[in-house]
Amino acid sequence: MVEGRMRTGTPPGTRSLARMKPGEKGEVISLEAPDHAGYRRLFALGLVPGATVTLLQRFPTYVFTAGRTTIAVDAGMAEGIWVAVRPSRNRSPQSRA
């Protein structure tokens, strides 16, 4: 069972955390976790719809901040975290499609 599937009508620019670049920032739209326990745990760490996340690094694990909390997740979890990525101003804008 996958918990918390993506809803329809998500804002443009929504990508999974696994497809973000280090330094990119955005709002969490929805979460998919392998099970309800994992979902609740992410929730407890402050990773809730609406939270602002910034990706710090992708390797060897995905590390990002959610609010003032730093969280590390593996690739599998990162793929289930859907983020409306803010267009970055100081970088080339055409790479966001």
Q: Quick one: 74 or 87, whose CB is closer to other proteins?
A: 74
| d(C-alpha 36, C-alpha 45), whole Å | 14
Interacting residues with other proteins (CB under 8 A)? 3-5, 7, 33-34, 36-46, 48-49, 56-57, 59-61, 63, 67-74, 76-77
Phi, psi of 43 (to 5 degrees): -60, -45
Where do we find the tokens 């407890």?
Answer: 44
> Closer to other proteins at the Cβ: 4 or 13?
4
Percent helix, percent strand, percent coil in the chain, to nearest 5:
20, 35, 45
- With respect to other proteins, which residue has the nearer C-beta, 2 or 11? 2
Whole-number minimum distance, CB 11 to other proteins, in Å? 18
